[in-house]
Structure 1
Amino acid sequence: MEVETRAQIYHERQRLQFCLLHSLNNLFQEKDAFTRAYLNAISERLDLDDPAKGRWSPIFKSHHNTITGNYDINVLIAALEGKGKTVVWHDRRNRASAIDLDGHSDKLMGIILNIPVRRCAGLWKSRHWVALRRIEGVWYNLDSEFAAPYAFKDLEEVRKLLDGIIADGAEILLVNNEAQ
């Protein structure tokens, strides 16, 4: 009797607006690959690099909210570069078929999505960070708002999701293992 075994998938659940932190840890498949303190330090460093922007409020910094999280793209890129990764923006004019999801190369570590969302009956617009990663040949949606990781059935399902969110205004960031 054959028993199908799936890899153990690390999955952090959403707390406040720390979806960037959760998506990074989910991408790296490690609980403390990134911490709030680490991301806050990056944000503070970015604020010091541009003093005109950084000190306008003790709570609402230019790169994050000190209470709820809500980190921006600058923090994401600096965090990933600090771990030796590169980030490439996917040109939204291209469909998902332009992304090498097949794994012919070990270059692509995973994908980070920045998806527009509406909350509070559409009164509040925000954005949500989500990680997609291929683990043992299977692509997973590691959205921190999901109760558990979602295993895509095939590459076409991944491409369909990506094409749909591109049409809805999402940004797709390809996280690569090596510098370009």
Structure 2
Amino acid sequence: MEGPINGGMLYHEVQESKLCAVHCVNTVLQGPFFSEFDLAALASDLDRKERQMMLEGGVGGGETAYGCLPGESHNVSMDGDFSIQVLQKALEVWDLQVIPLDCPVAEPAQIDPELENAFICHLQDHWFCIRKVNGEWYNFDSLYAAPEHLSKFYLSASLDTLKGFGWSIFLVRGNFPKECSIASFEASNGFGQWLSPEDAERITKSSNSVQRPPHRTGLTQQLSDPSLEYGEAELLLDAEDEDLKAAIAASLLESTPATGSALPSMSQDENKNISGEKE
């Protein structure tokens, strides 16, 4: 019988600037495999390919078929918000598929979501992951201090309520990484942390016992008014990182036809060599 992934530990990232898409991807993978610069490079490459397709299709001048002006990015904003296409490309590196939950192929997940392994949720520029780790479900929202445990019954109810409030939900399927070397990644970024389920529960209870701003409340209160919650969260996180903005701008410049494609900082083979096995 196989043992627990990552020695039974949970990987969680706390919100940094507007990098919730980075946090979402890494908590799906349960390890700090991607940085904001990796996702910016993927966004740059997607922009380059989209522009090439438009040139080949004879689209030019004014707004593009994607609703952007020429030279603007359709896949990343200057403050670090990424499109679903970028998240899909990042997870494809690990042979994972991102499928809209309302697609026919995802119908079994709508009936029995507890049989799946991960969901990505999106509303108003905020991304977060709901992930099964070692048989237990957790909400890895980066606005929370720690992963929030979800019962299997509450998982289904939560997904239904999120859909009712207008959240876009995506199913993630494939061979998830089985192990991430904690020692190899412990200094990889400043917002990732490894927690035991017991520590996560203790931190969650402690956080819920004190009065916090609305965007820091638990999932039950979050579902009551998600637009208000994340609107206020965005105001609190509005001080963007100037280095991040400069890096994204540089990546977008690299995506122009004159400079060619910007490639992810880690190739698929290099990524897979980092962790080895998959579950």
- Tell whether 2:88 aligns with 1:77: yes
**Secondary structure at 2:113's aligned position in 1?**
coil
- 2:120 counterpart letter in structure 1: I
Distance 1:96 1:145 in 2: 29
Q: Is the 8 A contact 1:20 1:70 kept in 2?
A: yes
* Structure 1 residues 54 and 46: alpha-carbon distance in aligned structure 2, compared to 1, 3 A threshold: farther
Q: What does the per-residue CA deviation read over 1:121-159, in whole Å, with 9 as the maximum and x for residues that have no partner?
A: xxxxx331010111111100000000110011x211111
Superposition RMSD in Å: 2.5
Determine the structure 2 residue equivalent to 1:169. Answer: 166
Decide which structure has greater strand share.
1
Distance 2:137 2:81 in 1: 26
Aligned length: 153
Identity %: 28
Determine the structure 2 residue equivalent to 1:119. Answer: none
**Secondary structure at 2:128's aligned position in 1?**
strand
Shift of 1:98: 2.1
What's the TM-score, normalizing by structure 1?
0.76
Shift of 1:54: 7.8
What is the correspondence of 1:79-98 to structure 2 with a 5 Å cutoff?
A: 79-91=90-102, 98=110
Distance 2:47 2:107 in 1: 35
Q: In structure 2, list runs of 5 or more residues that go unmatched.
A: 1-6, 52-63, 176-279
Out of 127, 143, 146, the position equivalent to 1:145 is 143
Q: In structure 1, list runs of 5 or more residues that go unmatched.
A: 1-5, 116-125
Distance 1:91 1:48 in 2: 29
Shift of 1:95: 9.2
Shift of 1:87: 1.3
What's the TM-score, normalizing by structure 2?
0.50
* Structure 1 residues 99 and 18: alpha-carbon distance in aligned structure 2, compared to 1, 3 A threshold: farther
Shift of 1:55: 5.2
Q: Which has the higher contact order (CA 8 A, sep 6+)?
A: 2
